[in-house]
C-alpha cells in the first residue's frame, strides 16, 4: 500500500459541514438545511440527503430528496402503483400540471411533519482509518455516493464518492 495515500478520515466532510438534524425536527427544517448548503452562492444544492440524529446524538437514518418529495405530496410520490385510469400505465403523468395548486398547499401542511416519518434506514458506516480504495469498493457494491464515517464509535462525518474519486484519480498517471 502506498503510504502517501490518505485514509478516509482525510476525505471526510465533517458532521458540522454536512446537513443533519434531529429525528423530530420538521421536514421544513430539513429543506432549510439543504438550502443552506449551496455551491458558492449559486443556489445549486451541494447535498441531496441529510443525516438524521436522535436525541442521544446517534445516527438513526437519512432523509433523501425522494423522502422530502414523498412528504410534500404523498398521493403523487408515494411509490404505490395505483390504477388511476383504465389502460393508463403512468401514474399521474398527464395530471401533474393540474396538481400544482394542490401541491403548494399540501407541501406547506405536510412539511410540518417530523423527518422520522420519511427517513430511510441508516447506511452501514465505515471506519475513519479505512483506505479510500476499500471505501470506494463498498460504495460501488452498495450503489451509494456517500457513507457515514465513524471513529472510536462516534460519527465524525460523511465521505463522498466524488471525493474518493478525486483522490484516487489524482494518483493515476494520466
Q: Do β-strands 20-22 and 146-151 pair in parallel, antiparallel, or remain unpaired?
A: unpaired
pLDDT at 1 over 50: no
Top mean-pLDDT range of 17-26, 39-48, 67-76, 80-89: 17-26
Query: pLDDT of 29-51, one tens digit each?
Result: 999 999 998 888 788 999 999 99
Per the domain annotation, does 3 fall within a domain?
no
Q: What is the mean pLDDT of the chain?
A: 84
* Concatenated DSSP letters of 88-116: --SSSTTTGGGGHHHHHHHHHHHTTSBGG
- Find the domain containing 81 and state its range: 8-170
Number of domains within the chain? 1
Per the domain annotation, does 34 fall within a domain?
yes
Per the domain annotation, does 80 fall within a domain?
yes
pLDDT at site 90: 56
Per the domain annotation, does 69 fall within a domain?
yes
Pick left, alpha or beta for residue 30 (phi over 0 → left; psi -120 to 50 → alpha; otherwise beta).
Answer: alpha
pLDDT at site 105: 76
Q: Nearest 5°: CA angle at 171, between 170 and 174?
A: 75
pTM of the model: 0.76
Query: pLDDT of 114-129, one tens digit each?
Result: 999 999 998 889 999 9
Q: Which residue has the higher pLDDT, 120 or 5?
A: 120
Per the domain annotation, does 88 fall within a domain?
yes
Per the domain annotation, does 129 fall within a domain?
yes
CA distance 65 to 7: 29
Lowest mean pLDDT among 6-20, 42-56, 69-83, 87-101: 87-101
Per the domain annotation, does 128 fall within a domain?
yes
Q: Do β-strands 13-14 and 154-160 pair in parallel, antiparallel, or remain unpaired?
A: antiparallel
CATH number reported for the structural domain that contains residue 66 in this entry: 3.10.580.10
CA distance 95 to 132: 46
Per the domain annotation, does 1 fall within a domain?
no
Amino acid at each position: 500500500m502506498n503510504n502517501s495515500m490518505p485514509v478516509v478520515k482525510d476525505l471526510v466532510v465533517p458532521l458540522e459541514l454536512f446537513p443533519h438534524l434531529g429525528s423530530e425536527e420538521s421536514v421544513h427544517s430539513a429543506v432549510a438545511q439543504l438550502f443552506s448548503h449551496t455551491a458558492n452562492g449559486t443556489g445549486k444544492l451541494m447535498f441531496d440527503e441529510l443525516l438524521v440524529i436522535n436525541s442521544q446524538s446517534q445516527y438513526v437514518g437519512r432523509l433523501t430528496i425522494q423522502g422530502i418529495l414523498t412528504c410534500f405530496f404523498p398521493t403523487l410520490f408515494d411509490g404505490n402503483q395505483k390504477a388511476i385510469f383504465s389502460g393508463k400505465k403512468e401514474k399521474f403523468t398527464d395530471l401533474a400540471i393540474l396538481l400544482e395548486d394542490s401541491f403548494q398547499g399540501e407541501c406547506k401542511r405536510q412539511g410540518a411533519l417530523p423527518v422520522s416519518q420519511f427517513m430511510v434506514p441508516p447506511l452501514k458506516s465505515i471506519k475513519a482509518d479505512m483506505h479510500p480504495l476499500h471505501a470506494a469498493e463498498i460504495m460501488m457494491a452498495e450503489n451509494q455516493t456517500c457513507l457515514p464515517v465513524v471513529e472510536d464509535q462516534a460519527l465524525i462525518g460523511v465521505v463522498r464518492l466524488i471525493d474518493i474519486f478525486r483522490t484516487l484519480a489524482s494518483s493515476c498517471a494520466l
